């Protein structure tokens, strides 16, 4: 039997073209399924956009649902390069800070040797003892044939030593230079010595520094806060002012002089306004996303991917209900009392002057309204809980996405089944066309044969010349 490439050769009919037309017509049955799959994919993408907008609104709600936001203070420093940061424990006030000296780390240099890698005469010492300003000491094991290099390495390898070691070339030889890792008098390295196995201190030209300037004692920071003297082993001072950390590291103080600054601890109204305005913006962005996904434009006949979608209607209804119901039992009960009004188009609008006045003069009422006494007690908590439910595994949005995904799977199954039916139909047509081609070819052949026979008979009978 002939194949599709030879269909029509025997019959002279355009059976291949006819088969292609039939196949195209059959595959047209797949077009509605493909379009339905595209529509469901567009829906899933639209649900993803809605979920992103809901997540953004949820993040904004989390910020205004924190009672610490309404207690937050900021430190404003006037004067030299003192920096100050606050915690939730800080209290409003003004503090005069005068710094007389910074905390420094102690340094100490050894005696001089000619070469860094020469073996030192340590008279049998097996340990290097480092003694600090606090009176504490640390023993570091060393080898009998130690060099300046190996002692440096032993000190740096001992994480508990509290000391950094390096080697300095002073132009006449090499010295072991030690510096305390921490600042302050107690952490300052006071001396070092070599000890033998019996615990006896050994002496020698390398064992101690004798030159002026080879030792520099570490010191504590010295300052006053509102006239009260304060000493600190660190330049980052916590607790001198309640809830405030003073950072003195960028100061440069000449000997005998004092650096003065005024630290004003004030309520951080900017952070509160930014958070509340962020809540309004996030809601309006969510509303804008919903508007785009459910829009209908009669002029160009375009329709939003989620127009008339029940999940979107449910989300809008729940959010509107939570926003308009407000909060009971507090000084503030509705958004309008905060200067936040619901517009005709469903968006929120802020009266900056009214909100700023509340932030400056009544942050406790704002805290009670948005955050409440418990996590779900205020408006932000109620809205946040509602969104968590909508976004949850059993939520309305997850259900809508799952439903669309299941419809896509069902359409895939229909498409595969329909495609197999079409392939079977085309195969049947091809077989029938092949049979037709053979049959017509045989009939043409028979017709030609009979014509020849009749022509020959006519010639024999003299009826044809």
The kind and range of the H/E element at 340 are strand 340-342
Neighbours of 320 (CB within 10 A): 12
In whole angstroms, what is the distance from residue 38 CA to residue 305 CA? Answer: 11
d(CA 176, CA 128): 13
**pLDDT at residue 45, rounded to an integer:** 92
pLDDT of residue 258: 87
**Beta partners for residue 130, in sequence order:** 138, 192
Cβ 91 vs Cβ 121: under 8 Å = no
Q: Give the burial class of 459: count Cβ atoms within 10 A of its Cβ; 0-12 exposed, 13-18 middle, 19 or more buried.
A: exposed
Is residue 202 a contact partner of residue 122, using CB atoms and an 8 Å limit?
A: yes
Q: Identify the pLDDT of residue 355.
A: 92
- The CB density around residue 462, as the number of other CB atoms within 10 Å, is 7
Q: Is 375 helix (H, G, I), strand (E, B) or coil?
A: coil
Relative orientation angle of helices 379-391 and 310-325, to the nearest 10 degrees: 170
SS3 state at 297: strand
Q: What is the pLDDT of residue 10?
A: 52
The number of CA neighbours under 13 Å toward the Cβ of 21 is 5
Q: Which of 179, 181, 173 is nearest to 206 (CA)?
A: 173
Rounded CA gap, 221 and 103, in Å? 4
Residue 419: closest CA among 23, 39, 86: 23
Residue with tokens 């509102």: 226
Which two three-digit tokens encode residue 76? 């404003």
Split the chain (465 residues) into runs of 10 and give each run's mean pLDDT: 50 70 82 87 92 94 90 80 81 90 92 87 86 93 90 92 92 91 93 85 61 78 94 93 87 81 86 94 95 85 86 92 85 92 92 91 90 77 92 90 89 87 83 75 77 75 67
Tell me, what's the pLDDT at 7?
60
pLDDT given for residue 8 in this prediction: 54
Task: List 350's β-bridge partners, or say none.
Answer: 340
Cβ(232)–Cβ(240) below 8 Å: yes
Give the separation between CA 83 and CA 295, rounded to whole angstroms: 53
Q: Write the CA distances from 327 to 323, 344, 366, integer angstroms.
A: 9, 22, 11
Q: What is the rounded CA–CA span in Å between residue 21 and residue 232?
A: 93
CA–CA distance, 179 with 161 (Å, rounded to integer): 11
CA distance 309 to 396: 11
For 136, list phi and psi in degrees, rounded to 5.
-70, 160
Phi, psi of 22 (to 5 degrees): -65, -40
Number of helices (H), then strands (E), in the chain: 9, 20
Region of residue 8 (phi > 0: left; psi between -120 and 50: alpha; otherwise: beta): left
pTM of this prediction?
A: 0.59
CB 257 within 8 A of CB 89: no
Local structure of residue 218 (DSSP, 8 states):
-
Residue with token string 């910020």: 63
């Amino acid at each position: 039997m002939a194949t599709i490439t030879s269909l029509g050769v025997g019959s002279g009919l355009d059976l291949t073209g006819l088969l292609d037309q039939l196949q195209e017509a059959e595959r047209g049955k797949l077009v509605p399924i493909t379009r339905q799959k595209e529509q469901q994919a567009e829906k899933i993408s639209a649900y993803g956009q809605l979920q992103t907008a809901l997540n953004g609104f949820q993040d904004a709600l989390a910020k205004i649902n924190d009672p610490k936001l309404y207690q937050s203070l900021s430190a404003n420093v006037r004067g030299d390069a003192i920096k100050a940061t606050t915690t939730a424990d800080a209290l409003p006030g003004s503090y005069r800070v005068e710094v007389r000296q910074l905390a420094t780390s102690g340094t100490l240099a050894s005696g001089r040797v000619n070469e860094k890698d020469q073996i030192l005469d340590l008279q049998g010492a097996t340990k290097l003892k480092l003694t600090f300003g606090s009176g504490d000491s640390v023993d570091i094991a060393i080898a009998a044939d130690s060099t300046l290099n190996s002692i440096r390495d032993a000190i740096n390898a001992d994480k508990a030593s509290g000391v950094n070691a390096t080697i300095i070339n002073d132009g006449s030889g090499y010295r072991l230079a030690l510096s305390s890792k921490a600042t302050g008098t107690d952490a300052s390295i006071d001396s070092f010595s070599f000890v033998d196995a019996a615990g006896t201190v050994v002496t020698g030209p390398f064992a101690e520094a004798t030159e002026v300037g080879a030792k520099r004692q570490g010191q504590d920071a010295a300052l006053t806060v509102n006239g009260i003297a304060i000493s600190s082993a660190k330049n980052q001072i916590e607790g001198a002012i309640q809830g405030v950390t003073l950072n003195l590291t960028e100061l440069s103080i000449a000997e005998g002089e004092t650096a003065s600054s005024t630290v004003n601890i004030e309520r951080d109204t900017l952070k509160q306004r930014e958070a509340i305005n962020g809540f309004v913006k996030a809601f309006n962005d969510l509303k804008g996303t919903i508007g785009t996904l459910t829009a209908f434009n009669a002029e160009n006949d375009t329709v939003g991917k989620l127009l008339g979608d029940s999940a979107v209607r449910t989300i809008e209804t729940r959010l509107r209900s939570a926003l308009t119901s407000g909060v009971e039992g507090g000084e503030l009960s509705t958004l309008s009392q905060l200067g936040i009004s619901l517009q005709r188009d469903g968006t929120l609008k802020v009266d900056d002057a009214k909100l700023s006045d509340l932030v400056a003069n009544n942050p406790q009422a704002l805290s009670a309204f948005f955050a409440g006494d418990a996590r779900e007690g205020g408006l932000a908590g109620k809205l946040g809980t509602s969104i968590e439910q909508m976004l949850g595994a059993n939520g309305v949005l997850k259900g809508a996405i799952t439903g669309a995904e299941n419809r896509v799977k069902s359409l895939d199954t229909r498409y595969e089944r329909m495609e197999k039916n079409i392939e079977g139909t085309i195969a049947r047509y091809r077989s029938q066309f092949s049979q037709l081609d053979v049959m017509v070819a045989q009939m043409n052949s028979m017709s030609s044969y009979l014509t020849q026979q009749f022509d020959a008979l006519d010639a024999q009978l003299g009826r044809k010349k």
